[in-house]
Structure 1
Amino acid sequence: HCPARNISIARNACLDASIADFVAFIDDDETATPSWLAELVAMAGASGAAAVLGPVRARYRPDAPDWMRRGDFHSTLPVWVRGEIQTGYTCNVLLRMGSDSLRGRRFSLARGQTGGEDTEFFDQMHKAGGRIAFSPEAWVNEVVPRSRAAFDWLGRRRFRVGQTHGHLLGSSASGIGLVKQVGLASAKAIYCFASALPVVVSPVRRNRSVLRGIMHVGVVSGLVGIREIRLYGQPSPQEGGKRAA
């Protein structure tokens, strides 16, 4: 039972109810490919990781902007830092429930409508010693609705992603360390915006640089403690709502 529009409540209800060795999550607007689950399980067995991520392939409507289709701005892949994946997402993941790093772990209710609850979940899991693996053939497909096929939606999403990252960085920094983090994120934002100028005639490259700059502005926002913007839990999917499945 999920008594409120909060994606963390739904995910936690799944974790509370499950007695399985593994739990897999995808989103309700995604379609799994035939070998999806088999690929995740195979990688879990081969790697012994606490979590296995798969790729999410965006499927654009014919009326989506050409630059967006060419740049593929909505597909999801993990990010490697110094040769390892340090956080993850729930739009395509398999969890090994017996892992010490996952035992009793739940999604933050406070982030259940802003987004970022999965980033925080996997960040904490990783810090607790849980390894994250990637299964490149465990594909799921996601149709991008018209409401999200717009630069302003991408901008809000990148800003919120940056806010989450900033809050996580800020939780372990203070004083001079925090000032350095703010300075670094600010410098990265300025660099990204400046990098967009020489490629202003190329919509894909320009928008990629601008969106990355917006993300770093979000990092600054998160570092100084500004509350994260609300992306989910809206009255209808057309307004940007999202549910877990």
Structure 2
Amino acid sequence: MARIDICICTFRRPFLAETLRSIAALERGAHDVRVVIADNDETPSAREMVDGLAAEMPVPLLYVHAPAANICIARNACLDAAEADFVAFVDDDEVVTPGWLLALYDRAQATGAAAVLGPVRAIYRDDAPGWMRSGDFHSTLPVLVDGTIRTGYTCNVLIRWTERFRGLRFNLALGKTGGEDTHFFYRLTGRGGTIDYALQAVVEEPVPAERATMAWLVQRRLRFGQTHGMLISAPALRALPVVGAKIVFCCLMTGLTAFSPVLRRRNWLRAVLHIGVAGGIIGMRQAEHYGRPAAS
């Protein structure tokens, strides 16, 4: 039996109730599970909802008020409150599938990995563009480089919370721009931790109308690229010619695949990602994305 703390950071998002109800339906085996909710709003706006749902939950809830409008403050509050052998993170706009937690845990035990990622399956609205639904541009999967997962994400992960990693925290300087999870997992692997993947550990994320646009996807890829560029080891400037070549190649492929609504956009987003990497290398200022009222 293991102790597992499931951590959720929230900021004015009513969908949190659906996330908690999905956790209530989890298969837990013999594990000792607790849910930690860190409210990142200036006022404890989620407390009433959490208190109201506590009676429905088969596992204990711990509410933590962690102001304000900086996602890393909330993530770190979860880690400060964690007392378990493992810490899991999911987002407050996701629902977990019944076998999610056990799939993550079983993979961690089978591989000895410090962190295990699961897939985030995008659920599109009926009015989402056809090319978007066909290309599935919003689902999240780990990225393998030479067969290895070098960094991760906090929208679906289980972390082995041992002494080697307990000192890790999220970088407050990235708490409004994003990229804090990428930075965190680079540091985890820097301490000798490995990252694995559990295909069956699925969470689902409805895609709201405001995210079902090419502009949102471009903004997201640019931010991802900037974060990776910022984290490139010195001398980073030597990487610029390679990054520039990748930008040119992806732009050419965008033109060559202009006939395909999916491939054209996919290649352009790859170009944008590498443009972001170049921006990160030269110190381009990142836009702030966190701390805005969430859509219901």
Partners in 2 of 1:221 and 1:112 — Cα distance?
A: 19
Is residue 111 of structure 1 aligned with residue 174 of structure 2? yes
The 3 A distance-change label for structure 1 pair 78 and 103 is same
- Give the alignment of 1:170-209 within 5 angstroms: 172-174=233-235, 178-209=236-267
1:152 CA displacement: 0.4
Residue of structure 2 in register with 1:151 after alignment? 214
Structure 1 contact 50–95 (Cα < 8 Å) conserved: yes
2:294 aligned residue (225, 228, 237): 237
Would the aligned equivalents of 2:153 and 2:181 in 1 still touch at CA under 8 Å? yes
- Higher RCO (CA 8 Å, separation ≥ 6 residues): 1
- The amino acid of 2:200's aligned partner reads E
> Equivalent residue for 1:84?
148
Return the index of the structure with the highest Cα Rg: 2
Q: What does 1:50-89 align with in structure 2 at a 5 Å threshold?
A: 50-89=114-153
What amino acid is the match of 1:173? A
* Aligned-residue offset at 1:112: 1.1
Q: 2:158 & 2:237 partners in 1: Cα distance?
A: 37
- Report the Cα distance in structure 2 between the residues aligned to 1:16 and 1:9, rounded to whole angstroms: 10
Deviation (angstroms), 1:99: 5.2
Q: Report the Cα distance in structure 1 between the residues aligned to 2:285 and 2:163, rounded to whole angstroms.
A: 32
Note the residue ranges of structure 1 that are not aligned, 5 or more in a row. Answer: 240-245
1:45 to 84, 92, 109: 109
- Secondary structure of the 2:285 match is coil
Shift of 1:232: 2.0
Verify the 8 A CA contact 2:87 2:158 in the aligned structure 1: yes
Deviation readout 1:221-240 (Å, 9 max, x if unpaired): 00001122222221x1139x
| Cα distance per residue 1:81-105 (max 9 Å; x no partner) | 11111000000000110151x1200
User: Number of paired residues?
Assistant: 232
TM-score (norm 2): 0.77
SS of 2:256's partner is coil
Deviations 1:55-91 (A, max 9, x none): 0000000111100000000000001111111000000
Q: Deviations over 1:193-227 (max 9, x none)?
A: 11011211211000000010001000000000112
Q: Retained in 1: the 8 A contact 2:237–2:282? A: no
Could you tell me how far 1:190 is from its partner in structure 2? 1.1
Task: Measure, in 1, the Cα distance between the counterparts of 2:93 and 2:212.
Answer: 15
**Following superposition of structure 1 onto structure 2, how do residues 217-236 of structure 1 map, counting pairs within 5 Å?**
217-234=275-292, 236=293
User: How has the CA–CA distance of structure 1 residues 193 and 17 changed in structure 2, closer, same or farther, with 3 Å as cutoff?
Assistant: same
Runs of 4+ in 1 over 2 A off after TM superposition: none
CA contact (8 A) 2:254 2:265 kept: yes
1:200 and 1:49 map into 2 onto residues whose CA distance is 42
Calculate the aligned-residue CA RMSD, in Å.
1.1
Between the aligned residues of both structures, percent identity stands at 55
The reply to whether residue 10 of structure 1 matches residue 68 of structure 2 is: no
What is the match of residue 123 of structure 1? 186
* Structure 2 unmatched ranges of 5 or more: 1-64
